Structure 1
Amino acid sequence: MVQQERNLGEQAIDKVVEIAIASQLDESESLSVTVETQPIQLAQGGVDSVTIEGEGLVMKQDLRVTELQVEVKDISVNPLSAMFGKIELNGPALGTARAVLKESDINRAFNSEYISDKLRGLKVHRDGQTVTVDVKSVECKLLSEGKIALDAEVLVRETASTEKIYFTAKPQIDAGGWAISLQNVEYPENKEFSPELTAALADKAGEVLNLRNFEIEGMSLRIQKLDVEAGLLTLQAEAKVEQFPS
C-alpha cells in the first residue's frame, strides 16, 4: 500500500511538472519528468531527485535541442504544496544538465527569424569604409577536430554584390560559463575576409550555441564542458533551480 501511495504521489508531481515545462515549448518529440521521493520524506519537505529528459525540444525563437537531460538532487520543498502535486522550493537546488545539438539544430537556429533579424543591417569596416551587409544564409558544420566551420553568403548593400565567407573556429566556454565564444579563427588558403564581419558572425554563432537559450523557467545553466565531434555538439552544465515551472 505504501509503495502504491508513493508511486501515485510521484506520478502526480511528475505530470504537473511535465505539463508546466511542455507549456514553455513550441514542440517536443518526447518529454518526461521523474520525481524520486518517499511519502514520509515528502511530508517532511524532502525530495531525493527530479529528472527531466526530453528529445527534439523546440524552445521559443525556434531553437531546437536534440537531447536535454537535467537532474537535480537533495531538494528541500514546501511539504504542503508537494502533497497537492506542486514542487515549491524552500531554496535553490543544484544539479547537472546535458544538452546535445546536431548540425541541423544549429542551422535551424541560424535560419530562424529570431537570429536572421540580427544578421541584417550589420555595419562593418572594409577597405577603410563602413558598409552595410545582410547575411543571406549561414551553414554551420561541426568538425571531427573539435572545430566549427561557418559558411556564409552576405549581401553588401552599397554595391549590391553577394560574397561568400568561410572560416573555422574553436568554441570555448566564456564569461565564467555563461556564454560560448568562437576563438582561433582560421581562413582557407590564407584568404581573410573582413575581420569585423567575421567577428559579427562569430558573435551570433556564440549566441546560437549558448545553452542559456534552452533554460526552462526558474532554472539557470552554467556551462562546464563542451565537446565538438563530427555532426554533434555536447554541452555539460551545472543547473541551478530557483523554482520548478508551475
Structure 2
Amino acid sequence: MFFKLDNLGEKTINKIAEVALSTKLEKRDKLAVKVKTDPNLLAKGTLESLVIDCQGLMVENALRMESINITLNSIAVSPFKALTGNIQLTQPSHGKACVLLKEKDITRVLDRAILRKKQNEIVIDEQVVKVSLKQVKCNLLDTGKILIQGIVKREDNQDNKNVSLEIKPEICRSGQGIIIDEIEYLEEPNLSSILLNPILQEAKNILNLKNFKVDGFSLKVEQFNIKQGALHLQAEAGMTHFPEF
C-alpha cells in the first residue's frame, strides 16, 4: 500500500508544509520549513520533526519578531491523508520555541498603544491639568530590567515633562504568564504612575506572546533572558492541527 512513499519523500512533504504555513505567516521577511521523515516512519503515521524558522514576522498589534524558531518532534499524522498532500494530525504535538525581540520593535508597539489613550486630568500645584503621553521608548537593560521612558505634554501651557519607570519582569509560578515583580518610578513619579501604568499591560502582553496567533499553534513562555537591546524568550510550543491552505 505504501510503495509510492519513496516518491513522496521529504521534499514533497516540505513543500506542502511550507505552502500551508506561508498562508498563515504572510507578513514576514523569510520563512524556512523543514520536515524530517522517511517512508517507514510515515507508513506508521509519524513525522520525525518539523522545524519552522521565521525572520521578521509581523504579528498582532504590529509587533515584529526579529526571529522565531519552532521545533516539534514525533508528530503523529494520518499516513493516508499525507499521501494525498494533507498533513492531518492524529494527536496534538509538543516542542520548543525560541523568540528574539528587539527593543526598537517593542518601542513601536508601545508607542502605537498611546495613540489609543485619551487625555488624563491630574492635579498639579492644586490645579486640574490636562496632560497626554506623546512618546514612549523601551530600553532592554543588561540588568535584566526594562526601562520605559515617555514624554508628557501639558495641554494648558504646552510644557513637556519626562516620565520613566523601570520594571523587573518575572514568570509567574504557574508558568501561565509574566508578572511585574518590581516597579521603580524614576522621573516625575506621580505622572509616571498615572500615565505609564497602562503601558505596562501592553508590555506584559508582548512578554506573554499573546500577539502570536497562528491557527493550530500555541506558545507558553517558560523562561526569558534580557540583554542589552534584546529579549530572548524560550517557550513551550504546541500544535493541535496543521494549518489549512
TM-score bucket of the superposed structures, by smaller chain? 0.7 to 0.9
Mapped partners of 1:221, 1:108: distance in 2: 22
Mapped partners of 1:132, 1:18: distance in 2: 52
Partner of 1:205: 203
2:137 aligned to which of 136, 139, 151? 139
Partner of 1:225: 223
Does the Cα contact within 8 Å between 1:9 and 1:85 map onto a contact in 2?
Answer: no
Q: Do the aligned partners of residues 156 and 43 (structure 1) sit closer, same or farther apart at CA in structure 2, a change above 3 Å counting? A: farther
Find the residue that maps to 1:51 and give its secondary structure: strand
Mapped partners of 1:132, 1:244: distance in 2: 51
2:189 aligned to which of 189, 192, 200? 192
Find the residue that maps to 1:86 and give its secondary structure: coil
Partner of 2:99: 99
Letter in 1 for 2:29: E
Q: CA deviation at 1:234?
A: 0.3
| TM superposition score normalised by structure 1 | 0.84
Mapped partners of 2:222, 2:41: distance in 1: 32
Structure 1 residues 57-206: aligned runs within 5 Å: 57-112=57-112, 115-118=113-116, 120-121=117-118, 134-155=132-153, 162-174=160-172, 176-188=174-186, 191-194=188-191, 195-206=193-204
Structure 1 residue runs of 4 or more that deviate by more than 6 Å after TM superposition:
127-132
Mapped partners of 2:134, 2:159: distance in 1: 12
Q: Do the aligned partners of residues 183 and 245 (structure 1) sit closer, same or farther apart at CA in structure 2, a change above 3 Å counting? A: same
Find the residue that maps to 2:190 and give its secondary structure: coil
Does the Cα contact within 8 Å between 1:168 and 1:187 map onto a contact in 2?
Answer: yes
Letter in 2 for 1:85: G
User: In angstroms, what is the RMSD of aligned CA positions?
Assistant: 2.9
Gaps of 5+ in 2: none
Letter in 1 for 2:166: T
Does the Cα contact within 8 Å between 2:60 and 2:213 map onto a contact in 1?
Answer: no
Identity over aligned pairs, percent: 33
Does the Cα contact within 8 Å between 1:24 and 1:59 map onto a contact in 2?
Answer: no
Q: CA deviation at 1:57?
A: 1.3
| 1:108-139 Cα shifts (integer Å, max 9, x gaps) | 22234xx3444x12767657999875432211
Partner of 2:45: 45
Q: Do the aligned partners of residues 6 and 130 (structure 1) sit closer, same or farther apart at CA in structure 2, a change above 3 Å counting? A: farther
Aligned residue pairs, count: 240
Q: CA deviation at 1:11?
A: 2.1
Larger radius of gyration: 2
